[in-house]
Structure 1
Amino acid sequence: MDKFPFYLIIIAVILLLIMLANKIKVAYPVLLVLAGLGISIIPGIPELQMKSETIFILFLPPLLYEAAWNISWKELWKWRRIIGSFAFIVVFFSAISVALVANYFIPGFSLALGLLLGGIVSPPDAVSAGAILKFVKAPRRVRSILEGESLLNDASSLIIFRFALIAVATGQFVWHEAALSFLWMVAGGIGIGVAIGYIIMKIHKFLPTDANSDIVLTILTPYIMYIAAEEVHSSGVLAVVSGGLLLSNHRLQFLSSTSRLRGYNVWESLVFVLNGLIFMFIGLDLPQITSGLGNVSMPTAIGYGLLITGVLIVGRIVAAYGAVVVTLIARNFITVADRSNPGIKGPFLIGWSGMRGVVSLAAALSIPLQLEDGTTFPQRNLILFITFVVILATLLLQGLTLPLLIRKFHIKDPDYIMPEDELYNKLRNMMSQHALDHLRSNYKKQLGEHTALQQIAQKWETSRAGIKEPGMNAESKEIYRALLNHQREWLHDKNSAKQSLDEEIVRRLYVYLDLEEEKLQYF
């Protein structure tokens, strides 16, 4: 409890920094990590002891679930080959490259320790890339590939990490046992996630839930999936991702419109807080990381961290162009998602979008202090420090330059030739016409009897007739907002003046006005 005020202050600082990041158009993970570093060196600041269990259990399941819920399954399947290669092949390639370089250049690093470090730092962080792409217009395919990769690379890197940890602890690596364990982690994780997702879907559908219970159940779901999979030594990450994808693609079948709308707002706020906390904690954890370097000097340790960072950056860029070459060859034999020449800019952007973050830090912190025989775990503190340097360096170097590169490259989006507003209006027109035809064909009698249905039909007719217009312009929206505010003021005055007016009715009208204002963003 004595640290509770400190955590409240940290949350307030996070909010201010994210608002500042939005104002100056800088990815907020960069500012949060730097702020955490600055706060950590202030005298008298409580020392933060982050535990890997806190990150893995408290932070990781909801963040993965939210990402799986929001990703497009259509895009994920379309780019499945490139996403799969980056999520698995490139992660393995990065881990092995780090292992070889660490074994050669860093004294005391065996290949097993190098592979352990490689498993820790190989997965790029989805939150960082998403925060950066928020401020620039990147091609949709680049976003889809990065989003899809981020769902799976955490699982592959943690699998490498677990096997390397066993090799360091036991001094041996049994390939056939490792292969069987790998298959169980993948198949078991996916199977458990899908099974629990199916059960959760049936609970939503057949039990008398309301919006509140639906939302609470969606928050519990990723934790249930993750813990259940980890308890049987399969991949909790894959369980959350597979279960989240299943539920996301069936959301219309078991969630009401009220649950979907309210749940979206709740999840957006929850993920906002979790992301802010985790990046601030990365910076605040510096004293714990640097306190145990021992005989290795700070400049030397920083040099090792920058060396590994360089290996990761170069390796990912090489892999991005390698994927293009493979695709150009493979398209002569199989159907690929894109048969055009991607050029050199797109692959470079994907290669440069390799910022590291929360999963790397959590994996490094989960390294035990001692081996089973009681001896100190070799190079644990140096691995922690190198991981921290990699996270900081990639966030600063790639995180700050990626928006500049995207603007400079001016890559055209080949997947969306039509402007977004025009496509939105076109689909809305088609949707209205389809509903209008259905109404006239199936409810002809009721349409002639009910004025409300006639008004709905008239509304769709008007919408369809004026669909070529881009919608309400900025000035019209401002005027409408002013009118809504005027109605709120009138309702407030009316409620204050008339004591007998039902407060519940007044609040329902306030919600109606809020919904009207919210709808403006869709016009």
Structure 2
Amino acid sequence: MIDNFPFYLSLIVVILFLIMLAKKIKVAYPVLLVLAGLGISFIPGIPILHIEPELLFIIFLPPLLYEASWSISWKELWRWRRIISSFAFVVVFLTALSVAFAANYFIPGFSLALGFLLGGIVSPPDAVSAGAILKFVKVPKRLSSILEGESLLNDASSLIIFRFAMIAVATGQFMWYEAALSFGWMVIGGVGIGLLIAFIFMKAHKYLPTDSNIDIVLTLVAPYIMYIVAEEVHSSGVLSVVSGGLFLSYYRHHFLDSRSRIRSLNVWESLSFVLNGIVFLLIGLDLPEITEGLGGVSIPSAIGYGVIITIVLILARIIAAYGAVIVTLIARNFIKVADSRNPGYKIPLLIGWSGMRGVVSLAAALSIPLYLKNGEPFPERNLILFITFVVILLTLLIQGITLPYLIKKINMSDPDQQIPEEEVELDIRRQLAEKALSHLHTNYSELLAEHTALQQLERKWEDNKQMVNDVVMAEECKVVYLEILSEQRVWLIQLNKDERTLNEEIIRKQLQYLDLEEERLRYI
């Protein structure tokens, strides 16, 4: 490990360079990272990377799920709960079933149990890939909410399928009532454990004498505890992290102060950025280990099987997307749905095409044991690994590259946004100003007459109250303001050099204030 440390360090540099390149050429960075890992793996003398599945499941998965659950809107998640739940559970199950029958039919020696195992591995789309692609193009909020919400839950459902299929392969039998009870415990136990641990952490944040550093460390520890505790009692660690993360995210303003929220946001953005980059590069780097164990199956044949499974996955998801629309249109006659209007063909097509696979599929495939309990080699393990790799690679390349162009080609308007966002934001600012002025005049009228500082705040809120679209800072004005802030920063640094007796902490505070002002420009 120590001998290869320079190699691992250089991989981080490669990841940063490739992500910058991806932004430059407007390609989703998971695509470039997987291809780069694939290319690096062919370089002579490169250490063969052995990825432990526990490393991916325990080190990478909890923080990535936790960060995603903090980012998503609970309101949007609840609004689209029916379609999100159907894609996260029903569609994943039907996809796994489709893969099981296809594998059993097309791949020699593949039983239905092995096919279902493969289906559980490759059925969940990857959240990171879709999120990276959607950043390049503007899509309706409902589409991004559905994809984000689905990605939080489908990992759990696919891993549940994977566990049951593993038992069926190992024992040769499947007890449906035991599976039903186990499934119920995994869901209920996972959610319950996540909420309980989240509640304990919320109280720790609120009542213990923490500061921003302690708060950040607690947020880093929380997802690992949620995941490990849930897995130890054989429930779903994924659902534990997701439910706990959603709970803490919803109540974040009740137990974290403003400084902790700002600093933790920066820490988590950087952490998830690095972890996402590493896992996609690892997918490409793992190819030599995967191809070594193919044995009697030729690489062209294995690639062909991977192509077949990829086609099945893409078609199953697209059919499911349109099926969900039909079910919604029928259900609106009997129950209240989030949106009773016909969504047309565009949103189902985009949801169906947003099915790139990623790290969870690879980790699940790698976690298949080498041997059964009776000592026999696990059947078709290496072929399952290779097919999983081909599926990840093809979905990232084909769907990942074409999805932005498909979104632009469709040019879909947002049916939920009747008023431009700028106007909505401006109206909220006016109402905030009115609320502030009302509170100030009602409760502090005497202090207002005495203190100039409060009078200045009053004038500021009066200006915000009268704000019109033309007054909102234009891009040209932001450029001027940034230039002024830069000049102030240069002057402060020079002042610190010239005045040797001046306390540098004072200068640093002023510099931090300028940084906050520059950050504030992003939101005005």
Distance in 1 between the 2:194 and 2:341 partners?
A: 36
Alignment correspondent of 1:345: 346
Q: Does 1:463 align with 2:464?
A: yes
Given residue 522 of structure 2, which amino acid in structure 1 is its aligned partner? Q
Q: Equivalents in 2 of 1:468, 1:456: separation in Å? A: 21
Q: How far is 1:468 from its partner?
A: 2.9
* TM-aligned CA deviation for residue 467 of structure 1: 3.5
For these two proteins, the number of residue pairs brought into alignment is 523
What do the CA deviations read for 1:405-443 (whole angstroms, capped 9, x no partner)? 100001110111222222211111111111211111122
Over residues 383-423 of structure 1, what are the superposed CA-to-partner deviations in whole Å (9 max), with x where a residue is unaligned?
A: 00000000000000000000001000011101112222222
For 1:248, the equivalent position in structure 2 comes to: 249
Alignment match, 1:192: 193
Structure 1: which amino acid aligns with 2:5? F
Match of 2:42 in 1: 41
Amino acid in structure 2 at the alignment position of 1:142: L
Letter in 1 for 2:338: A
SS in 1 for 2:97: helix
DSSP 3-state at the match of 2:375: coil
Per-residue deviation, 1:84: 0.4
Residue by residue over 1:240-261, the C-alpha shift from the partner in whole angstroms, topping out at 9 and shown as x without a partner, is 0000010000000000000000
CA distance in 1, matches of 2:96, 2:139: 28
Per-residue deviation at 1:310? 0.3
Output the CA distance in 2 between the equivalents of 1:367 and 1:172. Answer: 18
Give the drift of 1:469.
2.8
Matching residue of 1:25: 26
Instruction: Report the counterpart of residue 88 of structure 1 in structure 2.
Output: 89
**Residue 72 (structure 2) aligns with:** 71
Contact 1:484 1:517 in 2 (8 A): yes
CA distance in 1 between counterparts of 2:425 and 2:53 reads 44
Q: Is the 8 A contact 1:33 1:282 kept in 2?
A: yes
Please state whether the residue corresponding to 2:469 is helix, strand or coil: coil
8 Å contact from structure 1 (residues 119, 160) kept in 2? yes
1:443 matched to 2:444? The reply is yes
- The CA deviation at 1:465 is 1.0
Partners of 2:151 and 2:49 lie apart in 1 by 28
Which residues in structure 2 correspond to 1:121-520 (within 5 Å)? 121-469=122-470, 471-520=472-521
Shift of 1:488: 1.2
AA paired with 1:238?
L
**CA offsets per residue over residues 10-46 of structure 1, 9 Å max, x none?**
0000000000101111000000000000000000001
Q: 1:207, 1:336 → 2: CA distance?
A: 43
For the structure 1 residues 470 and 22, does the alpha-carbon distance in structure 2 shift closer, same or farther, using more than 3 Å as the test? Answer: farther
Once residues 82 and 466 of structure 1 are traced to their aligned partners in structure 2, the CA distance between those partners, rounded to angstroms, is 40
Deviation at 1:470, TM superposition (A): 5.7
User: What CA distance in whole angstroms lies between the structure 2 residues aligned with 1:29 and 1:78?
Assistant: 29
Q: Distance in 2 between matches of 1:436 and 1:360?
A: 54
Residues 83-140 of structure 1, C-alpha deviation per residue, up to 9 Å, x if partnerless?
0000000000000000011011101111110000000000000000000000001111
Deviations 1:160-213 (A, max 9, x none): 000000111111111111111111000000000000000000000000000000
**Residue type of the alignment partner of 1:253:** H
CA contact (8 A) 1:356 1:391 kept: yes
Q: Measure the CA separation in 2 of the matches of 1:5 and 1:428.
A: 51
Aligned residue type for 2:196: A
Superposed CA RMSD: 0.8
Which deviates more, 409-418 or 84-93?
409-418
**Equivalent AA in structure 1 for residue 37 of structure 2:** G
Instruction: Work out the CA distance in 2 between the residues paired with 1:445 and 1:234.
Output: 60
> TM-score under structure 2 normalisation?
0.99
CA distance in 1, matches of 2:436, 2:79: 30
Residue 275 of structure 1 deviates from its aligned partner by 0.2
Distance 1:306 1:495 in 2: 64
2:390 and 2:370 map into 1 onto residues whose CA distance is 20
SS in 2 for 1:318: helix
8 Å contact 1:422–1:470 — kept in the other structure? Answer: no
Amino acid at match of 1:109: F
Q: Does the CA-based 8 Å contact 1:421-1:470 persist in structure 2?
A: no
Cα distance between partner residues in 1 of 2:452 and 2:470: 27
Distance across 2 between alignment mates of 1:366 and 1:428: 52
Q: Tell me the equivalent position of 2:14.
A: 13
Any gaps of 5 or more consecutive residues in structure 2? none
Task: Name the structure 2 match of 1:106.
Answer: 107
**Is 1:118 matched with 2:104?**
no
Aligned CA distance change for structure 1 residues 36 and 470 (closer, same or farther; 3 Å): farther
CA deviation profile, 1:464-518 (whole Å, cap 9, x unmatched): 2123336211211111111111111111111111110001111111101111111
SS of the aligned residue for 1:367 comes to coil
With normalisation by structure 1, the TM-score equals: 0.99
**Partner secondary structure for residue 469 of structure 1:** helix
Structure 1 residues 41-73: Cα deviation after superposition (integer angstroms, max 9, x where no partner): 000001100010000000000000011111101
Query: Is the partner of 1:312 in helix, strand or coil?
Result: helix
The one-letter code sitting in structure 2 at the alignment partner of 1:350 is: I
Amino acid at match of 1:427: I
CA distance, structure 2, for counterparts of residue 515 and residue 248 of structure 1: 23
List 4+ stretches of structure 1 deviating above 3 A: none
Gaps of 5+ in 1: none
1:140-162, CA deviations, whole angstroms, 9 ceiling, x for partnerless residues?
Answer: 11000000000100000000000
Q: What SS does structure 2 have at the residue aligned with 1:164?
A: helix
Supply the distance in 2 between the matched residues of 1:469 and 1:363 (Cα, whole angstroms): 54
Letter in 2 for 1:216: V
2:450 partner amino acid: E
Alignment partners' CA distance in 2, 1:334 and 1:470: 46
CA distance in 2, matches of 1:205, 1:83: 32
